[in-house]
């Protein structure tokens, strides 16, 4: 029996589904979220293709629980198959067409723990960015009143806290109150970042694969948790170990005592991972105990 292939275009409230029955009749229907789940629950198991965009991994888990095989496609690979103007109906048909192309790269659906871990990294990244913005704003604001402090996050903040009395004499009273509040906001962000670090480190210590990655010199907990373990968890669909969709870092031989981590080859196959959930901690890292130059073997 031939497996039915569906092309599903997902959005926030409406969902477009395209499929072709065994008799050759085409359907392109719009559903609400609940109606779509009820409809697919009554259908025979098939392959449901959708773009790897927002909420795609949640839908992949839902489709799998209904007995269907989810197929996540990178949006860049779907766009060439849109025949006319871009609408929900044409997108659903384009997804259906792209899913049937030989050798089409797919994105591995993420599990809830993997998405939760990447979400923790995203939360931490945002708070680090907010803290940097607040510190830079505070430093520049005080500089306008002739108050200068050394560069560096910790060094500058310590100097500001230690010289609050001098700052009070230099800054107008209407502004000094908000300088104190800004310092409190930075302190709260420090506490939130520390709690996120504790949660990420606790997960990493319990994960055996993460501990294996940590054994590589120059690899820290953030890289080990946000990189290979959270993203490169699925081997199927990747042609070789040199594909960026299969590995985001390569350990290249260097001089004794040195380990070099390089970027994936430029001419390798485009990655099929979901770039919306990417984290800087997942990028390539280079460890140089001395001065190991970047090179390829």
CB 68 within 8 A of CB 47: yes
Mean pLDDT value across the chain: 80
Strands 5-9, 47-51: pairing is: parallel
- Identify the pLDDT of residue 162: 81
- Compute the C-alpha angle 252/280/295, nearest 5°: 20
Determine the Cα–Cα distance for residues 6 and 18; give it in Å rounded to an integer. Answer: 6
252 three-state secondary structure: strand
Task: Flag whether pLDDT at 178 surpasses 60.
Answer: yes
> pTM of whole model > 0.95?
no
pLDDT mean over 198-218: 89
Which contiguous run of DSSP H or E holds residue 262? strand 259-262
pLDDT mean over 147-156: 79
- Identify the pLDDT of residue 20: 95
Task: Flag whether pLDDT at 250 surpasses 70.
Answer: no
pLDDT over 70 percentage in the chain: 76
Confidence of residue 248 (pLDDT cuts 50, 70, 90): very low
Which overall architecture, per CATH, does domain 5-98 show? 2-Layer Sandwich (3.30)
Task: Flag whether pLDDT at 15 surpasses 80.
Answer: yes
- Identify the pLDDT of residue 161: 82
């Amino acid at each position: 029996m031939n497996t039915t292939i569906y092309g599903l275009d997902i959005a926030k409230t409406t969902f477009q589904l395209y499929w072709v029955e065994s008799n050759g009749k085409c359907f392109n229907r719009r559903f609400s979220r609940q109606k779509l789940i009820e409809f697919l629950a009554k259908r025979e198991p098939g392959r449901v293709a959708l773009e790897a965009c927002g909420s795609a991994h949640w839908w992949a888990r839902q489709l799998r629980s209904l007995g269907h095989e989810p197929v996540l496609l990178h949006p860049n690979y779907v766009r060439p198959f849109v025949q006319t103007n871009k609408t929900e109906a044409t997108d659903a048909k384009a997804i259906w067409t792209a899913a049937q192309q030989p050798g089409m790269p797919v994105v591995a659906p993420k599990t809830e723990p993997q998405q939760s871990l990447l979400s923790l990294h995203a939360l931490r990244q945002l708070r680090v960015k907010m803290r940097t913005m607040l510190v830079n704003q505070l430093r520049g604001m005080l500089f306008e009143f002739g108050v200068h402090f050394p560069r560096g996050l910790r060094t500058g903040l310590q100097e500001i806290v230690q010289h609050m009395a001098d700052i009070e004499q230099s800054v107008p009273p209407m502004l000094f109150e908000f300088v104190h509040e800004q310092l409190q906001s930075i302190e709260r962000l420090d506490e939130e970042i520390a709690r996120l670090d504790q949660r990420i480190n606790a997960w990493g210590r319990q994960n055996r694969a993460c501990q294996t990655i940590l054994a590589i010199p120059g690899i820290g907990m953030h890289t080990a948790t946000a990189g290979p373990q959270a993203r490169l968890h699925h081997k199927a669909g990747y042609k070789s170990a040199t594909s960026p969709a299969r590995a985001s870092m390569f350990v290249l031989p260097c001089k004794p005592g040195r380990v070099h981590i390089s970027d994936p080859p430029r001419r390798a196959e485009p990655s099929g991972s979901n770039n919306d959930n990417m984290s800087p901690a997942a990028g390539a890292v280079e460890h140089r105990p001395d001065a190991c130059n970047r090179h390829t073997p």
